[in-house]
Amino acid sequence: MALGSSFGFSLSAPQSSFILSIMFICLFQVHFSHLSLSDSDGARFIKMFAEVFENRAFRPVKNFSQTLDINITIYLHAILGLDEKQEILTTYIWMEQSWFHEFLIWDPSDFSGKDLVALPTEMLWLPDTLIIEMVDEDKSPDTPYLYVHHTGQVIYGKPLRIVSSCNLNVLYFPFDIQKCPLTASPIVFHDQDVKLHLIQTSENITSESKKIFASKGEWELIQIEANEQNYMGDWAIYRSILLEVMIKRRPMFYIVNLLIPSAFLMVTDIMSFYLPTHSFDRASFKMTLMLGYSMFLIIVKDLLPSNSAHTPLIGIFFLVSLTFMVTSLFETILIINVIHQNAKQRKAVPAWMRTIILNYGAKLFWRREEQRVYHQISHSPRAANTTDQDSEMKSSGPVEINILQGLLRKIAEEVEEIKQCMERYDQEREVEKEWLQIGHILDCFLHSVYLIFFAAFLLTLSVAWLK
């Protein structure tokens, strides 16, 4: 009604609604035709560069003899693992390549001022840059798009999950630093066709990588050294980028699980020297300790980098520790033999052993010599007594007393015999005590030698480790 009256004629209600709907349809059609797909920026872009997209098989240069320069940027995102047995390093890196496409140039004002356009990767020629050390199939995620700048610059970024071989040196495990190379190089295009250029400095790559380095796991990134280099192929030279990734192991896990338990067992072994040999079964104690250590070695075997080319120092440490334990067991057997066997057979202590061990050894280890003094004291009064008795007996002359004298002599002989018996017993006890003392001094001496050797071993090892 209102619409009709404004134009000076009147329309019924159904007529006006019909005209309104016609007008709406016309309006939409005008709008749709303006938005038609064939007229969009994208369609015009594709139409404009159709030839470029068709010829994506060839490098984007005007002249075949021209070299394509590719700028490359690499960052290390994470170290996913290092397999010492197979010498394999798994890393995750970000690689961005950019080059100039000589035919993909436009004026941004033609395309609503757009100067950066994302295109599917399969529409353009792509370099075949790969990491040469790769030993496993590429499980990197696909990147479906790349960016093209209106100046023709193509920016192609790609994450790479790299399983690469790396020559490891596990000698200083778990305090080792590994250096693994990653060489980014074209597989087919040699240096007359494609040249890779590194546009960052090593410091730049290192600091950026450290900033984004995600994992706080076993490995700590120390440095990445990057260089351009020429890689000699069979019949051409390839221009490639060599990255040397330096990583350091965080040793805490291994210190807690390998070194400290082993050190505890070793200290127990050293302390067990203070157990008395004659009244305690030290040998079986040491045997148990050795058994415990062997069990420990079996359990931790899987934690060690078992690589036949280099035996890690820690393996030598375990082996030498076991050797020390075996040696200390042998020492205990020797001491037990000296003390018990010789004492039971009641062999006299040889003179040389007496002078060397009981004189010098005792002085060296501050051992007192009470037994020998006791022996000398017990010896002298006995000799004096018998001679006195004999002379007294002979001096009393009368015959009546002869019987009594004979009786007394007999008694004296018996007593003498008992004395001799006691003396023999004393001597045996004394021999036993002497052997015991020899055993103690020998034990002290061997323990000191053991300690000296062990200290020297620890010193050598720590110097080697911390060097």
Ligand X SMILES: *[C@@H]1O[C@H](CO)[C@@H](O)[C@H](O)[C@H]1NC(C)=O
The residues of the shown chain that bind ligand X, judged by CB under 6 A, are 63, 65-66, 71, 98-100, 153, 199
Smallest separation, CB 146 to ligand X (Å)? 13
> What token pair was written down for 304?
């060690």
- Amino acid at site 406: G
CB 186 within 8 A of CB 238: yes
CB 78 within 8 A of CB 218: no
Choice between 156 and 219, CB closer to ligand X: 156
Q: How far is CA 414 from CA 94, 245, 417, 421, 427, in A?
A: 106, 95, 5, 10, 19
Choice between 199 and 348, CB closer to ligand X: 199
Residue 207 CA to residue 117 CA, distance in Å, equals 30
- Within a 10 A sphere around the Cβ of 4, how many other Cβ atoms? 15
Dmax (CA) for the chain in angstroms is 192
Question: Minimal CA–CA distance to 346: which of 431, 252, 227?
Answer: 431
Smallest separation, CB 236 to ligand X (Å)? 18
Choice between 97 and 183, CB closer to ligand X: 97
Give the sign of the dihedral formed by CA 356, CA 360, CA 365, CA 368: positive
CB 157 within 8 A of CB 143: yes
- Amino acid at site 156: Y
The residue at minimum Cβ distance from ligand X is 63
Q: How many residues are recorded in the chain?
A: 467
Choice between 103 and 253, CB closer to ligand X: 103
φ, ψ dihedrals at 231, nearest 5°: -105, 120
CB 347 within 8 A of CB 462: no
Strands 194-198 and 68-83: parallel
Choice between 199 and 418, CB closer to ligand X: 199
Smallest separation, CB 199 to ligand X (Å)? 5
Smallest separation, CB 197 to ligand X (Å)? 6
Choice between 38 and 63, CB closer to ligand X: 63
CB 382 within 8 A of CB 419: yes
φ, ψ dihedrals at 362, nearest 5°: -65, -40
Q: How far is CA 54 from CA 40, 125, 155, in A?
A: 20, 10, 20
| DSSP code at position 37 | G
Residue 133 CA to residue 6 CA, distance in Å, equals 82
How far does CA 125 lie from the centroid of its chain? Answer: 44
Smallest separation, CB 265 to ligand X (Å)? 60
Residue 205 CA to residue 196 CA, distance in Å, equals 16
Choice between 118 and 456, CB closer to ligand X: 118
Smallest separation, CB 61 to ligand X (Å)? 9
Strands 177-186 and 237-249: antiparallel
Smallest separation, CB 191 to ligand X (Å)? 14
Choice between 198 and 325, CB closer to ligand X: 198
Choice between 63 and 308, CB closer to ligand X: 63
Smallest separation, CB 69 to ligand X (Å)? 7
Choice between 100 and 374, CB closer to ligand X: 100
Choice between 164 and 240, CB closer to ligand X: 240
What is the CA angle 186-190-191, rounded to 5?
Answer: 105
Smallest separation, CB 62 to ligand X (Å)? 7
Smallest separation, CB 154 to ligand X (Å)? 8
Residue 83 CA to residue 89 CA, distance in Å, equals 6
Smallest separation, CB 457 to ligand X (Å)? 56
Choice between 117 and 265, CB closer to ligand X: 117
Smallest separation, CB 198 to ligand X (Å)? 10
